[in-house]
Amino acid sequence: MSKGWPTRAGAYPAWPGVLSPLGLRALVIRHRARLIRFSVIGAVVFSLQFVMQTVLVQVWHVGPVVSYIAVVISCIQLSFLLNRRFTWGDRQIPVPVACYRYNSQKAVTTAVNLAFYAGIVRLGTNYHLANILTAGCFTLVNYTLGNSWAFSSSKAQVAAHAGESQGGIHPRSR
């Protein structure tokens, strides 16, 4: 397989190296330092989200799903700023490109997160526990997407985005 992902006879395909237990282990080992920074930022932002949602639900009597939406929107932006600086600060990617990609990624993953969260709250799970379960389930998904797309500094990807943001006209085709 490409990229040196470990494989063994009969193992799941290594796309993108995460589908098999060996691939998951290799991903964690290869990205250890960056994944730790991402996780610490996630824990800090999650703690802030937890406190903000508690205030909205218990003090201001906002419903748990509505409060989740309001808090998540603000925490996504904080998470972008912190991850841009500390997790992927070594990547040469323009801030507007990274911000556009990160928020596009988060629009999709947050919709899935929200559906999961709302579903387990509806089943009777406490809103705090639902928050913890949701964060835990989607940490590696969010890291992988952030690392491979939102904060990827591939010149081809940055140039393609520049062409998209200028009405589909690639800068070299002018």
Give mean pLDDT, residues 60-73: 90
* 4 against 84, higher pLDDT: 84
Give mean pLDDT, residues 110-121: 91
Contacts of range 70-75, beta carbons closer than 8 Å, 24 or more positions apart: 72/110, 72/113, 72/114, 75/45, 75/46, 75/48, 75/49
pLDDT at 61 over 90: yes
Sign of CA dihedral 98, 101, 107, 113: negative
**Nearest alpha-carbon partner for 133 in 145, 119, 144:** 119
* 128 against 164, higher pLDDT: 128
How many alpha carbons fall within 13 Å on the CB side of residue 126?
A: 6
What is the b/e burial string over 139-153, where b = at least 16 CB atoms within 10 angstroms of the residue's CB?
bbebbbbbbeebbbe
pLDDT at 101 over 60: yes
Q: How do residues 68-99 score in pLDDT, each as one tens digit?
A: 889 989 999 999 999 999 999 999 999 999 99
Percent of the chain exceeding pLDDT 70 equals 74
Residue 51: the pLDDT is 95
Q: Within 10 Å of residue 104's Cβ, how many Cβ atoms? A: 13
